[in-house]
Structure 1
Amino acid sequence: MSLVFPHTFVPWFRSVAPYIHAYRGETFVVGMPGELVAAHKLNAFVQDLSILHAMGIKIVLVHGFRPQVDEQLKAKGHSSHYSHGVRITDEVALDAAQEAAGQLRFEIEAAFSQGLPNTPMANSTVRVVSGNFLTARPVGIVDGVDFQQSGLVRKVDAAAIQRAIDTGAIVLLSPFGFSPTGEAFNLTMEDVATSTAIALQADKLLFVCEVPGVPEDISDPDSAIDTELALADAQRLLDKMTEAPKPTEWAFYLRHCVKACQAGVERSHIIPFIADGALLQEVYTHDGIGTMVVDEKLESLREATPDDIGGIIGLIEPFERDGTLVKRDRTEIERDIEHYTVIEHDGVIFGCAALYPYVEARTAEMAALTVHAEVQGQGDGDRILKRIEQRAKAMGLSSIFVLTTRTMHWFIKRGFQQVDPEWLPEERKRKYNWDRRSQVLVKRLA
């Protein structure tokens, strides 16, 4: 029997609870390449999808089958042919694609049916629905190359898919479509997933794929992954990549992410399937594990509103319990909410501080400066401090001060100097807790 440690489990579970609440009832379109199945990651991936489904997320799963089709063609003694990154589908390749799709759908549906004890699938009942939801058209002849039975999505039956996912089923789409005359076309997983996300106006499009994401330095593939890209920045990256002699794999996925966001999908993601639980990490943690493309940056530094009171209380409570912060009751925070500045990421408050001016003394107290433990060390504290300084300057004040018992070194590194408590404005001095013996640190504003 495994041990559960409350001191780690409880804070972790509380940290993911806002995401569970935020995503309940939302629609995710998930693109899964055939390489994921070839890497023997299907069962774990399906278990993670089932967890999302259990959390109330509506899911459309689109599978790819490129390596499986290549394997079928090899067995038939037939070569695979590509142009512009797309398979040229002759009659033999179309037969191979149909065989591969049938086998993969069987494997995926079987994986969703494994309600094994002691696994995330235990006691779960996940219905998987497939159907002729896609209408296709031929790619045609491009730059003199006839793509034959390779096609593009013409139309997605969004209403039928919506009815299916509203019943609690997971919709499974294969990269096949049919023309109005019944002619079959081999599609790409990326085109199907993107077109479906757009047609549904999904909340997320997620490619769980063979690449880790978009590197921060595109000239160095081994550089750290850029966890969040504004849509305009993503488009600029793609414009640069068109000049490259050979497009990279991440650029291929990024192009579809950008297309989806431009057409109204709020967020699109590139996630590496090689990382265990990558889907869960991307959805339920602050920074995720791959690259997310958004129309606007999700992080917002702004003045607080009454709607933020609950988030502020939840943020500062752990620091009040361990004595880092002075206890503030809800009534006090409600009364002073206009003094607070917050950092919000994806609807969750991750940092805050309050500014209490003493106009006659031309100074102000910065209080309750807090950054969530999950994101400490990432610069949020500095961003809040800068905004507080800007607010104080706008009031015509010449300094700000803090009272602290544990974090004096952090403030000293940022230009604060220690002074005697007698320095405090008279009104604040009367409320000073001499038993707590807080240090008073002052920063002059240029």
Structure 2
Amino acid sequence: MNLVFPHTFVPWFRTVAPHIHAYRGKTFVVAIAGELIAAGKLARFAQDLAILQAMGIKLVLVHGFRPQVTAQLKEKGHESRFKNGVRITDPVALDSAQEAAGQLRFEIEAAFSQGLPNTPMANAIVRVVSGNFLTAQPVGVVDGIDFMHSGIVRKVDSGAIRRAIDIGAMVLLSPFGFSPTGEAFNLQMEDVATSTAVALQADKLLFVTEIPGIHEVVDDPSTPIDTELALADAERLLSLLPRPERSTDPAFYLQHCVRACRGGVERSHILPFAVDGSLLMEVFTHDGIGTMVVDEKLESLRQATPDDVSSVLHLIEPFERDGTLVKRDRNEIERDIEKYTVIEHDGVIFGCAALYPYPESKTAEMAALTVSPQVQGQGDGERILKRIEQLAKAMNLDSIFVLTTRTMHWFIKRGFVQVDADWLPEARKRKYNWDRRSQVLVKKLG
């Protein structure tokens, strides 16, 4: 019997809601290593993908088949050969790849046809569409090695894929492409996924792999790097890593994430299939579970707009209820929204602060500094404070001040000093709530 505990379920579900709203109508390209299917993880993974689609996310699924082809070749007594992580596809390997692809497509379509009661697939309707969406060309002869029937993606029919996902279908791509003359080529799943994501200008590219993410092998092989890598940092790391020979080599998936970001895909992810639900955790939690490469710092600071009023209200409301912040009504926030700075993560606002200048006194009040409990301790408060200071300096002000009843020590650690309430500018002093007895702290701007 499954028990639902409202005191944990309801707050959790509410924290997920902003991500659901942000991703509705977005396009994700999800690439699964053949090892996921070989490990018996397909049924559960299909359930998670069906949940994403039910939330309005448009999906393209690309499957790999590296271990399945190797197993086919072994049964035939034929050796698997690779160079720089690319299979050398002779005629026997091509036949094995075609057999493996056919079997896997059958298994994947069957997984999305589940509808058992009391499972995540109950009432789910997932229509899977596949076809000849990829045009390929041969790898050819590289460093004296003939890759024969191995190919690379030449063109993606993005228009046809877009039409299919726009009507609610999930597009399934196998790592096969065809030349204009009808010749078949064995492709890398990673190349197919990356090329498709770039062609669609997808919002996310997610590799669900046999590795947990990228590790900083240069310093300590056992220590994962940050869950978020800026594109420049990913390129630097890639330049330090040896050329990958196997899919488990650190640079193998990272090189494709970098290529995707260079091609306009803002976020590329590497996450482990070994963790049940890793796809949902990566998409719907702040820090995720794998490694994400972004072409810009994801926590972006910016001036608030009228569209942010509801998000700001939602953010500060709990702190108003417990008395940390002074109550502000919607009309006040709508009137002053352009005075607010917000910090957003993946389209969701996690922090804010307002700046109210008093030019005649060469100072300004920083008000409503708030950071969501989900991300406290990660430096977002400091980033907002720094931006507020920069804005005040640009106004040629000498200081900023805050009024607080509970967070005085946080500000003192960041260069604020306590002063008497009489220090306040006359216009602000008239609005000072003597019953609340807020502490006044000031920081000089250098």
| TM superposition score category, shorter chain reference | over 0.9
Change (3 A) 1:396 1:27: closer
Change (3 A) 1:89 1:364: same
- Counterparts of 1:271 and 1:369, CA distance in 2: 34
- Counterparts of 1:259 and 1:149, CA distance in 2: 24
Cα offset, 1:374, TM superposition: 1.0
SS at match of 1:233: helix
Aligned to 1:229: 229
Cα offset, 1:309, TM superposition: 1.9
- Cα deviations across residues 344-391 of structure 1 (Å, max 9, x unaligned)? 222222111112233333332221010011111000111111222222
Q: TM-score, structure 2 length as denominator?
A: 0.93
Aligned to 2:258: 258
4+ runs deviating over 4 angstroms: 242-248
Contact 2:257-2:268 at 8 Å conserved across structures: yes
> For residue 329 of structure 1, what is the amino acid of its counterpart?
D
Aligned to 1:286: 286
SS at match of 1:214: coil
Contact 1:89-1:149 at 8 Å conserved across structures: yes
Change (3 A) 1:83 1:32: same
62-71 or 131-140, which moves further after superposition?
131-140
- Counterparts of 1:116 and 1:292, CA distance in 2: 34
Contact 2:241-2:250 at 8 Å conserved across structures: no
Cα offset, 1:242, TM superposition: 5.2
Establish whether residue 102 from structure 1 lines up as the match of residue 102 from structure 2.
yes
- Counterparts of 2:165 and 2:246, CA distance in 1: 39
322-331 or 281-290, which moves further after superposition?
281-290
SS at match of 1:401: strand
202-211 or 413-422, which moves further after superposition?
413-422
Unaligned ranges ≥5, structure 2? none
Cα offset, 1:12, TM superposition: 2.5
Establish whether residue 176 from structure 1 lines up as the match of residue 176 from structure 2.
yes
- Cα deviations across residues 54-92 of structure 1 (Å, max 9, x unaligned)? 011111111111111111222222221111211111222
Cα offset, 1:297, TM superposition: 2.0
- Counterparts of 2:419 and 2:409, CA distance in 1: 14
Contact 1:212-1:225 at 8 Å conserved across structures: no
Change (3 A) 1:42 1:320: same
Cα offset, 1:338, TM superposition: 3.0
Change (3 A) 1:122 1:218: farther
Counterparts of residues 270-281 of structure 1 (less than 5 Å): 270-281=270-281
Contact 2:88-2:149 at 8 Å conserved across structures: yes
195-204 or 209-218, which moves further after superposition?
209-218
Aligned to 2:341: 341
Aligned to 1:416: 416
% same residue: 78
Aligned to 1:125: 125
Contact 1:258-1:293 at 8 Å conserved across structures: yes
> For residue 392 of structure 2, what is the amino acid of its counterpart?
A
Aligned to 1:324: 324
116-125 or 212-221, which moves further after superposition?
212-221
Cα offset, 1:243, TM superposition: 7.5
Counterparts of residues 26-425 of structure 1 (less than 5 Å): 26-215=26-215, 218-241=218-241, 249-425=249-425
Change (3 A) 1:183 1:396: closer
- Counterparts of 1:391 and 1:79, CA distance in 2: 65
SS at match of 1:336: helix
Cα offset, 1:248, TM superposition: 6.5
Alignment coverage as a number of residue pairs: 446
- Counterparts of 2:17 and 2:179, CA distance in 1: 45
- Counterparts of 1:276 and 1:247, CA distance in 2: 21
Contact 1:227-1:287 at 8 Å conserved across structures: yes
> For residue 356 of structure 2, what is the amino acid of its counterpart?
Y
- Cα deviations across residues 155-176 of structure 1 (Å, max 9, x unaligned)? 2222322222222111111112
- Counterparts of 2:68 and 2:330, CA distance in 1: 59
> For residue 114 of structure 1, what is the amino acid of its counterpart?
Q
Contact 1:213-1:226 at 8 Å conserved across structures: no
- Counterparts of 2:362 and 2:167, CA distance in 1: 62
> For residue 400 of structure 2, what is the amino acid of its counterpart?
I
User: Alpha carbon RMSD of aligned pairs, Å?
Assistant: 2.2
Aligned to 2:434: 434
Contact 1:216-1:226 at 8 Å conserved across structures: no
Cα offset, 1:246, TM superposition: 9.1
- Counterparts of 2:132 and 2:391, CA distance in 1: 58
- Counterparts of 2:29 and 2:344, CA distance in 1: 25
Q: TM-score, structure 1 length as denominator?
A: 0.93
- Counterparts of 1:210 and 1:246, CA distance in 2: 11
- Counterparts of 2:356 and 2:107, CA distance in 1: 62
